[in-house]
Amino acid sequence: MRRKLAAGNWKMNGVSTQLAEVEALCAAHPSPRVDLLIAPPATLISSMVVSAANHALEVAGQDCHGEKNGAHTGDISGEMLKDAGASYVILGHSERREDHSESDDDVRSKARAALAADLKVVICIGESLEEREAANTLEIIAGQLAGSLPDILTGENTVIAYEPIWAIGTGKVPTLAQIGEVHDFIRSKLQTRFGEGVGRSIRLLYGGSVKPSNASEIFNVSNVDGALVGGASLKAEDFSGIIKALEDAI
Ligand code: PEP
């Protein structure tokens, strides 16, 4: 059984006052029946770990470098995230791929470095609107999976987030059939490459405009093991509604 996961990505949002939302979220879910994860800006990782002390909520970085250390001004290593108290890192988010020209090779190097630093990884993949409209979605997803995933992953240390770029922050959501088609496809690719057992154990999140109002139907799609949530993870009340929907889907 794959344990469900609700993950929030705060992106470049939040200073220390925003931690009140995490405290409210922890208070609202003292014993969550799903895994909870939030990726704040790197400046808030250590203080979020304190805010979530004695709670199951885990903290993630939003990116890390592919090298262990060195002359890379402005970058952050997996070891640094781990040292700050993070247990996961999000890699290959479409905003990193677009804003920083990150390739699948970059994402794979980063994933290797993160796993070597004993972090778990959430690897993001997803097609653009043009690719979707050209009926190239599955081909794009296959290429990103082949290129971005290292060979050493397991169901314990790796999560994959399917995030159609056109659904991120836009309020547009694929149909349930479209989500199901891509998640089933990812599952079968993982089983082919990593074997039945490992392929079956890797959690698959859907991401892109998930809200309390649409979460339940998305969580009932096959092979959706949770969500990666941007905007709606910034407010405890909204993220809480998504967490409840995920708990109801168990
Ligand atoms: C994201 O950034 O990963 C995301 C899914 O954003 P949103 O929920 O705001 O669409």
Q: How far is the CA of 19 from the centre of ligand 1 (A)?
A: 19
Question: Is 168 near ligand 1, meaning CB less than 6 Å away?
Answer: yes
What are the beta bridge partners of residue 59?
38
Does any ligand 1 atom lie closer than 6 A to the CB of residue 115?
no
Which residues form the domain of 241?
5-248
- What pLDDT shows up at residue 127? 98
Residue-wise DSSP of 60-94: EES---SSSSSS-TT---HHHHHHHT--EEEE--H
Whole-number Cα distances in Å, 3 to 62, 73, 117, 204, 223: 22, 37, 23, 11, 12
CA 145 from centre of chain: 15
One pLDDT digit (tens) per residue for the chain, 250 residues: 899 999 999 999 999 999 999 999 999 999 999 999 999 999 999 999 999 999 999 999 999 999 999 999 999 999 999 999 999 999 999 999 999 999 999 999 999 999 999 999 999 999 999 999 999 999 999 999 999 999 999 999 999 999 999 999 999 999 999 999 999 999 999 999 999 999 999 999 999 999 999 999 999 999 999 999 999 999 999 999 999 999 999 9
Spell 28-38 as b/e; 16+ CB within 10 A means b: ebeebebbbbb
Contact 4, 226 (CB under 8 A): yes
CATH number of 205's domain:
3.20.20.70
Active site residue 93: yes
- From its phi and psi, is residue 93 left (phi > 0), alpha (psi between -120 and 50) or beta? beta
Q: What is the pTM of this model?
A: 0.98
Number of domains comprising the chain: 1
CA 101 – ligand 1 centroid, Å: 19
